[in-house]
């Protein structure tokens, strides 16, 4: 049971100035952010072990936690024309992230009848700072039908981590990287465009991944952090082709993307062959496991997506067809042996959207996805399942001041654990009334999940197992909303002219 409060805040600001000379610009971007997650959680677990002898383990604990983060991302860019068809861009980027994590875990005391016994092994206070600075130069060359941009950035990053409790220690790491990039665009015509983009980037480990403290939320699956983690290096290549015919209301788009990541952060799972002590007072029972994040090379992902849209005049609607697929090759470790998890998915969708009039429209859609997962080391974790999601949405305005809306969603899952193969409907409806001058305001009453069938089901796949999770969600409820649109347009035309 958890009682947590969370907050996220950001305020992106941008300033851009164009000089009198064509192609010469200056811009500044600043985005400060703050996040906080605090509260308490309770764990009451009774585990029975069927090994050589029958034994059981009881946990009754309460944890107070306070995790907060402060970030500041900024960039400065200056462009200078070299010739009539080319220009240079000089840039500087700065990223600062500071995180603090404070977790105090208390065991239940039969003497005090309260959670008063501080568990120093499972409690932890950890602070981290990550400062990344990069300077880059880009060269852009443009012809009538095509343009090419290439760039190279030098990045210097510092990672500092300090554990304050229960044992004081600190880590300091420096990462130096060269990050190339390239973009190419070719216009066959104004309506047919090919884009190719290459990008490289880094991502630092999170505070929870760096904390060398055991999490026993699942007594059969303990987890801990690794203060020696490195930042990853991701390379992504994408190709996109789009074509449109406005006269015939047809459009086509296809996307291909490939991603290769070095120093990818994965889990090293250790399955206990016998009862083992992993920390003072913490026993990993035979058959249970503990996971620890490590860096590994060899992660890559391929995905594609294609959509085609065309009109259906007799139905006064448009038809959209989409098809896509993805393949992921992810490394991992199980008892010091390498495991490769290969994930495949293929999807197909069909949608009809109306353009009957501004007072009535509808949408009918259906999407089906098939998923398959195979492991080179743990074949028992292999699985396959599929999901189908269908929707009917209708919106009508019988009068200019009234809006009626309803939608029915159907979810069907197959291949999950038997008790989770859900087949349910989600029905919502709303009535709205437009108010004030120019109908700038709207008062709307909405009813969600009229049939009280809403469910939240997800499948999580790891190196050693897969699990189906059903989460309690809010079912039937009412919501009254008031919306006011602020609009202001200033005309530069002299008074009296139209």
Contact by Cβ (8 Å): 68, 12:
no
In terms of pLDDT, which residue wins out, 359 or 392?
Answer: 392
Q: What is the mean pLDDT of residues 125-141?
A: 93
Please count the other Cβ atoms lying within 10 Å of the Cβ belonging to residue 167. 9
Q: What is the mean pLDDT of residues 455-481?
A: 80
Please count the other Cβ atoms lying within 10 Å of the Cβ belonging to residue 208. 16
Residue 139 burial by Cβ neighbours in a 10 Å radius (0-12, 13-18, 19+) = middle
Segment of 164-173, 176-185, 278-287 carrying the highest mean pLDDT: 176-185
Q: Which two tokens stand for residue 304?
A: 């594609």
Task: Average the pLDDT over each of 44-53, 129-138, 388-397 and give the range with the smallest value.
Answer: 44-53
Task: Average the pLDDT over each of 13-17, 344-348, 360-364, 417-421 and give the range with the smallest value.
Answer: 417-421
For the chain, the C-alpha Rg in angstroms (whole number) is 28
pLDDT of residue 492: 56
**Does the pLDDT of residue 429 top 90, yes or no?**
yes
Q: Which residues pair with 302 in a beta bridge?
A: 258, 327
Contact by Cβ (8 Å): 362, 384:
no
In sequence order, which residues have a C-beta less than 8 Å from that of residue 490 and are 6 or more positions away? none
| Residue 201 CA to its chain's centroid (Å) | 17
**Does the pLDDT of residue 496 top 50, yes or no?**
no
pLDDT of residue 203: 85
Q: What is the mean pLDDT of residues 26-51?
A: 90
- Cα separation, 471 vs 180, whole angstroms: 43
- Cα separation, 373 vs 382, whole angstroms: 5
Mean residue pLDDT across the chain? 88
**DSSP three-state, residue 209:** helix
**Does the pLDDT of residue 494 top 80, yes or no?**
no
Answer whether 0.95 is exceeded by the pTM: no
Residue 413 burial by Cβ neighbours in a 10 Å radius (0-12, 13-18, 19+) = buried
pLDDT of residue 126: 86
Q: How confident is the model at residue 463 (pLDDT cuts 50, 70, 90)?
A: low
pLDDT of residue 497: 45
Contact by Cβ (8 Å): 389, 360:
no
pLDDT of residue 498: 40
pLDDT of residue 377: 85
Residue 457 burial by Cβ neighbours in a 10 Å radius (0-12, 13-18, 19+) = middle
Question: Pairing between strand 402-414 and 456-461?
Answer: unpaired
Q: What is the mean pLDDT of residues 323-345?
A: 93
pLDDT of residue 420: 65
Q: What is the mean pLDDT of residues 210-217?
A: 79
Q: Is cis: bond before 498, omega within 30 of 0?
A: no
pLDDT of residue 493: 52
**Does the pLDDT of residue 65 top 50, yes or no?**
yes
DSSP labels for 253-294?
A: EEEEEEEEEESEEEEEEEE-SS-EEEETTEEE-TT-EEEEEE
Q: What is the mean pLDDT of residues 318-322?
A: 94
**Does the pLDDT of residue 277 top 90, yes or no?**
no
**Does the pLDDT of residue 210 top 90, yes or no?**
no
Task: Average the pLDDT over each of 214-218, 239-243, 459-463 and give the range with the smallest value.
Answer: 459-463
Assign 3-state DSSP to the chain and report helix, strand, coil percentages, each to 5.
5, 70, 25
Contact by Cβ (8 Å): 427, 455:
no
Q: How confident is the model at residue 135 (pLDDT cuts 50, 70, 90)?
A: very high
pLDDT tens figures, 229-265: 888 999 999 999 999 988 888 999 999 999 999 999 9
- Cα separation, 34 vs 264, whole angstroms: 26
pLDDT of residue 168: 84
Give percent of the chain above pLDDT 70.
Answer: 96
């Amino acid at each position: 049971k958890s009682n947590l409060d969370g907050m996220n805040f950001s305020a992106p600001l941008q300033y851009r100035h164009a000089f009198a000379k064509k192609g010469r610009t200056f811009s500044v971007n600043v985005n400060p952010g703050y996040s906080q997650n605090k509260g308490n959680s309770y764990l009451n677990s009774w585990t029975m072990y069927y090994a050589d002898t029958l034994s059981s383990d009881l946990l009754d604990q309460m944890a107070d936690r306070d995790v907060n983060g402060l970030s500041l991302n900024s960039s400065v860019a200056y462009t200078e024309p070299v010739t009539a068809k080319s220009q240079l861009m000089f840039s500087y980027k700065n990223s600062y992230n500071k995180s603090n994590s404070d977790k105090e875990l208390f065991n239940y005391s039969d003497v005090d009848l309260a959670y008063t016994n501080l568990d120093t092994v499972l409690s932890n206070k950890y602070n981290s700072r990550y400062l990344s600075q990069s300077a880059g130069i880009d060269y852009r060359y443009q012809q009538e039908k095509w343009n090419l941009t290439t760039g190279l950035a030098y990045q210097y990053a510092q990672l500092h981590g300090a554990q304050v409790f229960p044992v004081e220690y600190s880590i300091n790491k420096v990462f130096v990287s060269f990050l190339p990039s390239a973009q190419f665009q070719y216009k066959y015509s104004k309506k047919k465009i090919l884009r190719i983009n290459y990008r490289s980037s880094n991502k630092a480990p999170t505070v929870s991944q760096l904390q060398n403290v055991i999490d026993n939320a699942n007594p059969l699956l303990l987890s801990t952090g690794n203060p020696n983690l490195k930042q990853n290096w991701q390379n992504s290549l994408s190709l996109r082709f789009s074509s449109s015919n406005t006269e015939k209301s047809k459009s086509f788009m296809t996307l291909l993307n490939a991603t290769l990541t070095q120093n990818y952060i994965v889990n090293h799972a250790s399955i206990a062959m016998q009862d083992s002590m992993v920390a003072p007072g913490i026993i990993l029972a035979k058959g249970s496991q503990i996971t620890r994040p490590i860096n590994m090379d060899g992660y890559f992902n391929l995905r594609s997506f294609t959509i085609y849209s065309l009109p259906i005049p007799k139905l006064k609607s448009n038809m959209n067809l989409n098809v896509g697929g993805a393949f992921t090759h992810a490394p991992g470790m199980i008892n010091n042996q390498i495991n490769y998890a290969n994930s495949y998915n293929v999807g197909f969708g069909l949608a009809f959207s109306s353009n009957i009039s501004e007072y009535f429209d509808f949408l009918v859609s259906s999407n089906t996805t098939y998923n398959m997962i195979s492991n080179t080391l743990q074949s028992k974790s292999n699985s396959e399942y599929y999901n189908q999601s269908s929707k009917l949405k209708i919106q009508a305005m019988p009068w200019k001041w009234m809006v009626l809306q309803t939608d029915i969603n159907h979810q069907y899952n197959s291949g999950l654990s038997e008790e989770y193969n859900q087949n349910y409907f989600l029905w919502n409806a709303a009535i709205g009334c437009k108010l004030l001058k120019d109908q700038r305001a709207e008062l709307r009453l909405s009813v969600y999940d009229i049939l009280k069938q809403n469910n939240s089901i997800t499948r999580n796949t790891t190196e050693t197992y897969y699990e189906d999770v059903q989460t309690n969600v809010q079912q039937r409820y009412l919501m009254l909303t008031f919306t006011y649109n602020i609009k202001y347009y200033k005309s530069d035309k002299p008074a009296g002219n139209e």
